[in-house]
């Protein structure tokens, strides 16, 4: 599951990837015509809307791709960089950049691109950026307070607008397509050399229609968590997918034996877990099984993950969620924790009829009870296994 930084891709290798991505970025920008300031400025005067076309096509493509990757469980949205918002600094900074765009005809990325192919005006612009950053830094103390003001954190635009992510994506796609059509008409009226005069109309309409369909698909795309949770609770799914169980006796035996290839996953709430937990158990609520943070435990194929809850049913739900995500080597504790406590950890002789095999079982349970109770006591002093909080990747400029 992506992203692959910092694990398994090291920070050094990440720099090599940055270089490769940069080559692709620069190549595409230049091919798109972003190395031409007249072309970039055309956006604001109506004679060339290339910037709008490239910019929105790119944003929509990346956005749709991210939503799909996340839906199929290939990308952990909790681990990628979401630009945090400082509202007023973003507005003022954006406005300053807007004026800079008109005066200078470039933005930083495009100016470096243009300077690379020898555009002299771009070299002056790049020099200007150095001056600007230097000025900002030297005067930092005088606008430090404003710089840090109205911090709203990494909020998402669809939450800000009260839409679902899918609906927002669809609206964005629709707005982009309408803007493409309208600006092409404006461009043709303003300039005899408008790039849109060379567009192959029919092909463009077909691609646009396909994009609208893809956008409609995004609306229907539920959040992956919701989809998996609903799917595993349907009777059809339960009938289709067999659940593997582990009896209380087997678990007790493996615990007493201190078998290393076993990991108890307790899916109850933290309060219940704090009161009573089996030795070595890790507390993960079902909602938290989806991200990368428990991957290091759940992903070990040679380790049997035994799911426990008070009763068997909640553990079965967790079993199917994990199975659906793609984790293997799972089992549900038969009878749940309540059953385990009754059979193994209680004084009352269980209701087994006393024949010779049952006596052996009874004896074993007596023994196991002592050992496991000591293990539970000892464990209280041991450090807890923590979720591997995905180190948030740095981002932005």
Partner 1 sequence: MHQITTKYMNPYLAGFLLGLVLLMSIFITGRGLGASGAIKSSVVTIVNGIAPEHAANSDYYGPYVEEGKESPMKSWLVFEMVGVILGAFLSGLISDRLGFVSERGPRIQNSTRWIFAVIGGALFGIGAQFARGCTSGAALSGMAVLSTAGFVTMLAIFGTGYLVAYFFRRLWI
Give the nearest distance from C-beta 77 to partner 1 in angstroms.
8
Site for partner 1 in 12-41 (CB under 8 A): 14-33, 35-39, 41
Give the nearest distance from C-beta 49 to partner 1 in angstroms.
8
From residue 38 to residue 77, the character string flagging contacts with partner 1 as x (rule: CB under 8 A) and all else as - is xx-xxxxx-xx-x--xxxxxxxxxxx-xx--x----xx--
- Asked if 134 interacts with partner 1 (CB under 8 A), we say yes
Element (H, E) at 331: strand 330-333
Give the nearest distance from C-beta 72 to partner 1 in angstroms.
12
Half-sphere exposure of 198 (CA within 13 A, CB side): 5
287: nearest Cα among 96, 78, 27: 78
Give the nearest distance from C-beta 326 to partner 1 in angstroms.
18
- Asked if 354 interacts with partner 1 (CB under 8 A), we say no
DSSP code, position 303: S
Site for partner 1 in 205-234 (CB under 8 A): 207
Radius of gyration of the chain (CA): 30
Give the nearest distance from C-beta 115 to partner 1 in angstroms.
8
Q: How far apart are the C-alpha atoms of 197 and 57, rounded to whole Å?
A: 19
From residue 176 to residue 205, the character string flagging contacts with partner 1 as x (rule: CB under 8 A) and all else as - is ----x----------xxx-x---x----x-
Q: Kindly tell me which residue out of 95, 178, 181, 209 binds partner 1, with binding defined by CB under 8 A.
A: 95
CA angle 27, 28, 33 (to 5 degrees): 100
- Edge-to-edge strand order for the sheet containing 282-283? 245-246, 330-333, 304-308, 262-266, 282-283
CA angle 196, 201, 202 (to 5 degrees): 165
Q: Kindly tell me which residue out of 113, 264, 318, 372 binds partner 1, with binding defined by CB under 8 A.
A: 113
Q: Which stretch binds partner 1 (CB under 8 A): 11-19, 247-255, 281-289, 334-342?
A: 11-19
Residue 129 in contact with residue 57, Cβ under 8 Å?
no
Would you say 87 or 185 has its CB closer to partner 1? 87
Would you say 5 or 376 has its CB closer to partner 1? 5
Give the nearest distance from C-beta 263 to partner 1 in angstroms.
27
Give the nearest distance from C-beta 101 to partner 1 in angstroms.
5
Q: Kindly tell me which residue out of 71, 107, 231, 253 binds partner 1, with binding defined by CB under 8 A.
A: 107
Residues pairing with 265 in the sheet: 282, 307
Q: How far apart are the C-alpha atoms of 101 and 108, rounded to whole Å?
A: 10
Q: How far apart are the C-alpha atoms of 131 and 317, rounded to whole Å?
A: 59
Residues that bind partner 1 (rule: CB under 8 A) add up to a total of 142
Give the nearest distance from C-beta 219 to partner 1 in angstroms.
14
Q: Kindly tell me which residue out of 71, 73, 100, 164 binds partner 1, with binding defined by CB under 8 A.
A: 100
218: nearest Cα among 176, 164, 290: 164
From residue 74 to residue 93, the character string flagging contacts with partner 1 as x (rule: CB under 8 A) and all else as - is xx---xxxxxxxxx-xxxxx
Tell whether omega for the bond before 369 is within 30 degrees of 0, i.e. cis.
no
* CA 73 from centroid of its chain's CA atoms: 8
Q: Kindly tell me which residue out of 8, 10, 72, 124 binds partner 1, with binding defined by CB under 8 A.
A: 124
Element (H, E) at 224: helix 224-233
Would you say 27 or 182 has its CB closer to partner 1? 27
378: nearest Cα among 265, 255, 253: 255
Q: How far apart are the C-alpha atoms of 381 and 385, rounded to whole Å?
A: 12
Give the nearest distance from C-beta 87 to partner 1 in angstroms.
7
Residue 70 in contact with residue 197, Cβ under 8 Å?
no
Q: Kindly tell me which residue out of 5, 186, 272, 376 binds partner 1, with binding defined by CB under 8 A.
A: 5
Give the nearest distance from C-beta 309 to partner 1 in angstroms.
33
Question: What backbone phi and psi angles, to 5 degrees, belong to 345?
Answer: -100, 10
From residue 140 to residue 179, the character string flagging contacts with partner 1 as x (rule: CB under 8 A) and all else as - is xx-xx-xx----x-xxxxxxx----x--xx----------
């Amino acid at each position: 599951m992506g992203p692959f930084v910092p694990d398994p891709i090291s920070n050094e290798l990440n720099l090599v990837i940055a270089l490769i991505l940069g080559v692709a970025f620069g190549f595409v920008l230049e091919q798109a015509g972003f190395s031409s300031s007249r072309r970039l400025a055309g956006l604001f005067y109506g004679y060339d809307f290339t910037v709008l076309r490239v910019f929105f096509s790119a944003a929509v493509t990346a956005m749709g791709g991210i939503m799909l990757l996340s839906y199929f469980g290939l990308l952990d949205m909790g681990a990628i960089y979401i630009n945090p918002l400082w509202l007023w600094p973003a507005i003022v900074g954006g406005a300053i950049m807007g004026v800079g765009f008109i005066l200078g005809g470039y933005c930083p990325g495009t100016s470096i691109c243009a300077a690379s192919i020898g555009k002299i005006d771009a070299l002056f612009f790049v020099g200007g950026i150095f001056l600007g950053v230097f000025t900002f830094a030297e005067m930092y103390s005088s606008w430090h307070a404003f710089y840090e003001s109205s911090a709203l954190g990494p909020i998402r635009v669809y939450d800000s607008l009260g839409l679902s992510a899918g609906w927002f994506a669809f609206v964005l796609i629709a707005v982009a397509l309408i803007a493409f059509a309208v600006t092409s008409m404006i461009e043709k009226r303003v300039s005899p050399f408008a790039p849109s005069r060379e567009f192959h109309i029919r092909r463009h309409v077909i691609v646009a229609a396909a994009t609208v369909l893809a956008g409609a698909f995004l609306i229907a795309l539920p959040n992956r968590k919701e989809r998996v949770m609903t799917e595993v609770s349907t009777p059809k799914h339960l009938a289709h997918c067999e659940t593997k169980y582990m009896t209380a006796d087997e678990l007790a035996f493996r615990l007493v034996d201190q078998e290393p290839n076993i990991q108890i996953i307790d899916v109850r709430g933290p309060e219940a877990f704090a009161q009573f937990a089996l030795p070595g158990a890790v507390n993960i609520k079902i909602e938290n099984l989806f991200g990368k943070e428990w991957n290091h435990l759940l992903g070990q194929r040679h380790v049997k993950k035994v799911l426990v809850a008070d009763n068997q049913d909640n553990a079965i739900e967790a079993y199917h969620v994990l199975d659906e995500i793609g984790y293997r080597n799972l089992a549900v504790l038969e009878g749940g924790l309540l059953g385990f406590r009754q059979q193994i950890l209680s004084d009352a002789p269980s209701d087994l009829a006393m024949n010779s095999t049952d006596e052996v079982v009874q004896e074993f349970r007596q023994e196991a009870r002592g050992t496991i109770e000591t293990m539970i006591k000892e464990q209280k002093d041991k450090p807890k296994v923590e979720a591997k909080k995905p180190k948030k990747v740095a981002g932005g400029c």
